[in-house]
Structure 1
Amino acid sequence: MPAVLISEKHLKKSDTRKTYSDKLVMGFVLRTTPKGGLTFSFQYLNKKTSKRDWCTIGTYPEWNIDRARKEARRLATLVDDGVDIKAAHRLRAERGAVNVITFKQLVKEYIDDCKTLVRKRWGMVPKKESWKDIESALKRAVQRWGSIPAAEITDSDVMDLYQTYVDDDHIPQGNRVRTLLHTLFKWAIVPPRKYLPTNPCTNLPEKLEEVPVDAAEHPDGRVLTAKEIRKFWVGLDDPNCPGDKLSKLAYKLYLTTVLRGAEICAIPNDGVMPDVHKPETVTIPLEVLKGRRSKTSRPVTQPLNSLAREIVAEIFKGDEGRRYAFPGNGKRRGKWMDQKTLAHLLNRKAADRAGKEGILEYLKIGHFTPHDLRRTSATILEQLGYDEKSIGKVMTHKTPDKDASPVTRVHYLVPKQIIAKPVDRRVEALDALDAVLREIIGLPPAKLKLVA
């Protein structure tokens, strides 16, 4: 059976049974019969029996050459992964139009779809810009189910995988993986893929809630005390403190601007107004604001207080033409720094595999995340007397109607004393009224202010 390039000229009746082996895909075969039957098949070595086996792909014209050849390639991959393709095809026949594909192949096809470029208002970007995180999060599932046909994965399999995260005390990660699997399987059901008959994640038990190690601590993080803020701020200026100068200035911007880490890292040179020598505001481009991408969303412009102005000017000092305040390295060259870099630099340990001391270990400060600096500033604002709506505006929280929403108290406003004496906001208001009345009446400014 000499190998040939199976083409349209082979799709015709013959006086005798003929078999054509395709030279492009090993094992891909076309069989013809005197009665005009044209069947595409796949021949392979059965690893269990060590014998040659045949698997029927389909008949012409329901299957054309290109489609049959593509299916033969997929079957070859299944055989390499140790899948019994005859059993898989029987499963397909039992469950209807369910295409045979391993879980590993399914994830690869899904990630490729996530990477597909689409046009957004902020440019050409992958359909799911978080595809790298999705791929990483599904690694354990791929290791566990890689060679199993996706259609054979059950709800029990998903819960067994979930239990491994629970046993490792990684409940939040397990909850996220369950959500990603639900999305993946839902995508796999939609025609023309039809890889699954049903979604095994549809009727699973409720997800577990993460229980904080110290119930007295804030479940979503913590706020720094006044002593810790002072120690951290001064410690960042220590030349022996781990990390480069720019990264350490980024932590200070968390406290002074109350912006999110991704927004701070992506501050562009042309977004600093009026310029990097006299910064008064920073504008964060829309492409960074993942939660604000509705048709009416706009870039965020945040005013800068005096400390933030000094920090921004210091960041660009000596390199005023730099495109971003915090440029990325390696694969991110030409873009901005990944905010994960700041979390890693803060909390890495000398005892870790890399053997590099982190900032908090060097400064001997208890664990916290960069986002806890934003939480700390929000708590200070509350203790200064500002209401939740005002704090929400500073933190650029938005609701669907684009009106500033109240801060979710359980996430940000932590009842821990930071400033020496909380301020009653009414005092500031009455002092402001006093100043205006004095100006109207023609009286000199007050020498003393109200005492809260």
Structure 2
Amino acid sequence: MARPKKDDAPDLTARVDLTAGAIERLTCPAGKQQAFMRDTEAPALRVRVTAAGAKSFVFESKLNRETIRRTIGDVKTWSIEKARIEARRLAVVLDNKQDPREIERQEQAAKAAAKAAAAAHAVTVGEAWKVYVDERSPKWGTLHIKDHERLARAGGEAAKRGTRGRGVTIAGPLHPLLGLALRDLSAQVIDAWAAREAQTRPTAARLAWRLLKAFLGWCAEQPEYAPVLPSTNPAKTKKAREALGPAKAKNDSLLKTQLPVWFAAVRNIGNPTVAAYLQTLLLTGARPGEVLEMRWEDLNTQWKGLTIRDKVEGERVIPLTPYVSQLLAALPRRSEWVFASASTPPDKPHQPISKPHKPHETACKVAGIDGLTLHGLRRSFKSLSEWLEVPAGVVAQIQGHKPSATAEKHYTVRPLDLLAVHHERIEAWILEQAGVQFDAQAEPGKLRVVAGGAA
């Protein structure tokens, strides 16, 4: 048989002693997408050539009657000898009944896991907190979102009040934790934080602690954060719970006998918007923040309805009672907000007034009433309605409380006009006990009130 010429293409039907020349002469037969040239020294080594002329070293063998093929590398970057060594190594792996492709997948997965663990090791509480809030916010109500913002804010911004004499806003209880690495947020760290915050602001700290527990529970479910967290939620400790203490039940509420002096003191507040806000708060039984968020578009004077943005249900519609209707109609329309602030920077739109804790405290001192908070006015609405034996479900629906009985949840439907019957009765009784008389038929915005028997 004649010897092949040096420039002839290698015979792909037989094994070939791989040389640089043989590889250079290798071509893909016409009509095929790829072809293989087998090595004589390393039986599992091949050189693959494609129709486009690309050439690479390939390992090929069988495992459980299945052909195993794995690319080793390009012939331009791998020498023949190194390719043979790699082919022999893979053959040993195959002899041990292991699939080199699976081993490679496992190695890649291990590298990816190590990379993710390194990233989680470096992430801070603040970085994870931002991701958490962004992801969960669409499922939260407005007030819940504001709680997360308020309790984690940095503080240090110029403010006129509520700063304990510092002149700047105070950092939220959660802010000291945000700069820590997530891996360092241990039970001991949280216990020390809880004990420290409980000394100055236990109520805010208790809420912050509840938000922190939920946040860490979410982190434990995320593959990128779970590796650096302990198996149990580090915020759920007995020490933290004891340091913050239980929330004390509040019982501040207006008594029937205190109504005349309270109304008289509140109506003498120099700011009409604040005075109207406090009276509306008492007569609607709404939450302080819900009343502040009222917009003019929420008042339906035709159907006598008032839309409240509810933290539980999203929004609820309650009756727009006669006294409250005239009270609000008398306010100036400075912006979209019903209780808009009178003073605001020229380059900024009017915003709702801040919660008037101080004016209310001053009015209560004048009236000789101790410890009555803004939320106590909401509590007062419920307590005072007991004098009229109004159905509990009616009061709960007006105040935005969740139904507590099966009949209320599934069988009782109260339209606005039915609520109005009870709500107007409550308002009229409170005003009667306060000695407040007004003309329900008066033109809106011209409310005439007689308190304590004096015009």
Give the TM-score normalised by the residue count of structure 1. Answer: 0.51
CA distance in 1 between counterparts of 2:386 and 2:280 reads 19
CA distance in 1 between counterparts of 2:412 and 2:356 reads 28
Q: Highest relative contact order (Cα 8 Å, sep 6+), 1 or 2?
A: 2
Unaligned runs of 5+ in 1: 1-33, 36-60, 63-91, 213-218, 294-298, 348-357, 406-417, 423-452
Determine the structure 2 residue equivalent to 1:114.
133
Which of these residues, 279, 283, 294, is aligned with residue 252 of structure 1?
279
Determine the structure 1 residue equivalent to 2:14.
none
Determine the structure 2 residue equivalent to 1:132.
149
Point out the more displaced range, 384-393 or 327-336.
327-336
Q: Secondary structure at the match of 1:267?
A: coil
CA distance in 2 between counterparts of 1:120 and 1:395 reads 22
CA distance in 2 between counterparts of 1:165 and 1:119 reads 29
Q: Is the 8 A contact 1:253 1:308 kept in 2?
A: yes
Which of these residues, 252, 264, 268, is aligned with residue 295 of structure 2?
268
CA distance in 2 between counterparts of 1:175 and 1:187 reads 19
Which of these residues, 220, 231, 234, is aligned with residue 264 of structure 2?
234
Which residue identity lines up with residue 106 of structure 1 in the other structure? V
Structure 1 residues 149 and 377: CA distance shift in structure 2, 3 A: closer
Matched residues, number:
283
How far is the alpha carbon of 1:150 from its aligned partner? 2.4
Report whether the alignment pairs 1:177 with 2:208. yes
Superposed CA RMSD:
4.5
CA distance in 2 between counterparts of 1:157 and 1:303 reads 49
CA distance in 1 between counterparts of 2:188 and 2:204 reads 19
Determine the structure 2 residue equivalent to 1:289.
310
How far is the alpha carbon of 1:110 from its aligned partner? 1.6
Which residue identity lines up with residue 201 of structure 1 in the other structure? P
CA distance in 2 between counterparts of 1:110 and 1:256 reads 39
Q: Secondary structure at the match of 1:130?
A: helix
Which of these residues, 275, 280, 286, is aligned with residue 304 of structure 2?
280
**Structure number, greater radius of gyration:** 2
1:284-363 alignment runs, 5 A limit: 284=308, 288-293=309-314, 299-316=315-332, 319=333, 322-327=335-340, 337=352, 341-347=355-361, 358-361=362-365, 363=367
How far is the alpha carbon of 1:164 from its aligned partner? 2.2
Which residue identity lines up with residue 181 of structure 1 in the other structure? L
Structure 1 residues 367 and 336: CA distance shift in structure 2, 3 A: same
How far is the alpha carbon of 1:246 from its aligned partner? 0.8
CA distance in 1 between counterparts of 2:307 and 2:218 reads 36
1:82-93 alignment runs, 5 A limit: none
Structure 1 residues 203 and 236: CA distance shift in structure 2, 3 A: closer
Which residue identity lines up with residue 132 of structure 1 in the other structure? E
How far is the alpha carbon of 1:249 from its aligned partner? 0.4
Task: Choose between structure 1 and 2: higher helix proportion.
Answer: 2
Which residue identity lines up with residue 133 of structure 1 in the other structure? R
Give the TM-score normalised by the residue count of structure 2. Answer: 0.51
Structure 1 residues 118 and 330: CA distance shift in structure 2, 3 A: farther
Determine the structure 2 residue equivalent to 1:223.
253
Q: Is the 8 A contact 2:148 2:211 kept in 1?
A: no
How far is the alpha carbon of 1:179 from its aligned partner? 1.5
CA distance in 1 between counterparts of 2:139 and 2:233 reads 33
Determine the structure 2 residue equivalent to 1:376.
380
Determine the structure 2 residue equivalent to 1:396.
400
